[in-house]
Amino acid sequence: MKLPQETFIHLRNAIAAEVNKYGASSILNHYEGLSDTRMMFDLCYRAAFQLGNDDSHPYFTSGSRSRSYPQVVGWRLYAGGCNDTHVATALKNIQKELKLER
């Protein structure tokens, strides 16, 4: 099983928004010395936060985080029986697409 296409597209676009917001070189520098898997799962969870929460979430209302990608109502990372292995495979593909390889 793999991530459903719609889930993959939203995840890729939300991660791309985070990369555009901070810059690829800044992200790579921040994760220097840590694994690519760690970097990509951190970006994944940041993207999932954007996708799964509306603007009334306390992090958004307090200014702790700013919106980089719109909420997708009903979006779930682990939909349809997907697990971390499926997500990791998708993240490797996203990493290549976004040229975040070291």
pLDDT given for residue 37 in this prediction: 96
pLDDT digits (tens, 9 = 90+) for 55-98: 999 999 999 999 999 999 999 999 878 899 999 999 999 999 99
pLDDT given for residue 102 in this prediction: 81
The tokens of 3 are what? 């991530």
Which domain does 61 fall in, by range?
5-97
Q: Would residue 48 count as lying in a domain? A: yes
Q: Which amino acid is at 33?
A: G
Q: Would residue 21 count as lying in a domain? A: yes
Domain count, the chain: 1
Give the other-Cβ count within 10 Å of 67's Cβ.
14
Q: Would residue 42 count as lying in a domain? A: yes
Q: Would residue 51 count as lying in a domain? A: yes
Q: Would residue 102 count as lying in a domain? A: no
CB 77 within 8 A of CB 44: yes
Extract long-range pairs of 71-77: CB within 8 Å, 24+ residues apart.
Answer: 72/10, 75/7, 75/10, 75/48, 75/51, 76/7, 76/52, 77/7, 77/11, 77/44, 77/48
The single residue listed with the structure tokens 């997708």 is 72
Q: Give the whole-number percent of the chain exceeding pLDDT 90.
A: 89
Q: Would residue 38 count as lying in a domain? A: yes
Q: Would residue 62 count as lying in a domain? A: yes
Q: Distance between CA atoms of 42 and 44, rounded to whole angstroms? A: 5
